[in-house]
Structure 1
Amino acid sequence: MQIHTVVAPVFATRCSVLVAPDGACVVVDAGAGAAGPVRLLVEQHGWRPQAVLATHGHADHVWDAAALCDAWGVPLVLHARDAYRLDDPFGTLGVLDPRDPAGPLTAALAAAGADVGSWTVPARVEPFGGDEPSGRTADVDLDLGGVRLRARHAPGHTEGSTLYLLDGVPAAAGAPVVLSGDVLFAGGVGRTDLPGGDAATMAQTLAQVVGALPPDAPVLPGHGPATDVRTELATNPWLPR
């Protein structure tokens, strides 16, 4: 399995293209402005798109999902507890609502040439999960046309925030690569003050979900540099010791 990264211009969201040995591929977190570079990358290599995944439903992680899903005829896959956000991804952003002319997202979208009024929901949306008991580390095995990964519910930043664990990446030396979205960053964690965020739930996620990850696992956050679980457990001030 290979991982290729495209950085979206709005909030520098990490968009990951996961490619199986047979050329099947899945895109994770299609941020605003990522669709063009991602389509070019896929076409240049002759890969076969199977799905677009979202680590959560915030606009900066799903903005270009429809552009890719509808062009390729593939679904957007995300946790069921964040599926409601697709109906109004801006209204669930609170202080980041791009309809606020003074908001930081407004300027970022304008700089990327994105039109706030152009949001569309992908034609196919396929939620998973949604029935996990509170506090349980629950995995859902996803097989998306040969791209296999584990979805691990990690709420707190949003209700449906999810870690995606990908096995079989040569550079990871046997540990799964963790696509952490906005749950875990290098030296930080996701904010909990936006609608649907919850500090107590995030604390539980950091202790029980992040804390249980293999120490050698590489981490690819939704924003910022890559890291690994061992480094974050040792140095990240937000993680329990």
Structure 2
Amino acid sequence: MKWERLPLGPLQTNCYVLSNSEKEALIFDPGGEAPKLNNLLKARKLKPLAIFLTHAHFDHIGAVEDVRKEWGIPVYIHKNEQHWLQDPSSNGSQLFLAHIIQSSEADEIIRGEGKLEIGSFHFEIFETPGHSPGSVSYYFEEAGVVFSGDALFEGSIGRTDLPGGDHAQLIKSIHEKLLNLPEETIVLSGHGLETTIGQEMDSNPFLNGF
């Protein structure tokens, strides 16, 4: 499997495309600039199977509707944020942007943790709330990567001062879910560069002393 990072939208949020040898692809957090993402998929001759959201803040969902329509694929989101796609107040676009972001309802609702198969992809879903109430992370053991959204960054963690944020809950999520992964696991975050679980265990100042 191969992954590709594509910063998109007003905050240059990391969208990721994970593809396999059969040219199937999964899309994570299409934050904006749908034509740019769609053109990349076409240039790579990929066949997208689904869109997975780590959470539903505006900078992670800006291109959801256009990409879904372009490829006719389902959108997955956690139950705690399933209405945020339609609600500019909840997703933050009403407060932070000059325009609102809305899309139709998600096609698939994530109701808990567990394993999921789509196409030839096999992966695990972890509930990692704290940055937002419906934050999830997607772990692909075979590829050695976890898509952490805005839970864990290189040398940092997600902000918790937005509605539904909870600092103690976020720290708990990171320690109980993410830091239990193999240390060599690559962390693909919502912003910034990739890191590893081992690196964050050793040097992330927000996680020391917990």
Q: Give the 3-state SS of the residue equivalent to 2:17 in structure 1.
A: strand
Contact 2:25 2:48 in 1 (8 A): yes
Separation in 1, partners of 2:7, 2:120:
25
In the aligned structure 2, how far is the partner of 1:196 from the partner of 1:6? 27
Contact residue 93 and residue 101 of structure 2 kept, 8 A? no
Larger Rg: 1
The CA distance in 1 between the partners of 2:82 and 2:9, in whole Å, is 24
Q: Which residue of 2 aligns with 1:23?
A: 23
1:127 — aligned with what? Answer: 109
Q: Does 2:97 correspond to 1:99? A: no
SS, match of residue 92 in structure 1: helix
Q: Are 1:207 and 1:240, in contact at CA under 8 Å, matched by a contact in 2?
A: no
Superposed CA offset, 1:81-140 (max 9, x none): 22121121x3125xxx4434xx4x44xxxxxxxxx2463225x5201124xxxxxxxx42
- On the 8 A contact 1:57/1:86 being kept in 2, the answer is yes
Residue of structure 2 aligned with 1:184, choices 139, 152, 171: 152
Amino acid at match of 1:126: E
**Which structure would you say has the larger RCO, counting Cα contacts within 8 Å and 6 or more residues apart?**
1
Gaps of 5+ in 2: none
Change (3 A) 1:227 1:160: same
Aligned letter for 1:24? E
TM-score by length of 2: 0.92
Instruction: Summarize the alignment of residues 18-57 of structure 1 with structure 2, pairs less than 5 Å apart.
Output: 18-33=18-33, 35-57=34-56
Q: How many percent identity over aligned positions?
A: 30
- Give the aligned partner of residue 199 of structure 2: 231
Unaligned runs of 5+ in 1: 107-115, 131-138, 170-175
Structure 1: 4+ residue segments shifted above 4 A: none
Aligned to 2:57: 58
User: How many residue pairs end up in the alignment?
Assistant: 209
Q: Distance in 2 between matches of 1:216 and 1:120?
A: 36
- 2:58 and 2:93 in contact (8 A); partners too: no
TM-score by length of 1: 0.81
Partner of 1:110: none
Question: Aligned partners of 2:76, 2:103: CA distance in 1, in Å?
Answer: 15
Cα offset for 1:196? 1.2
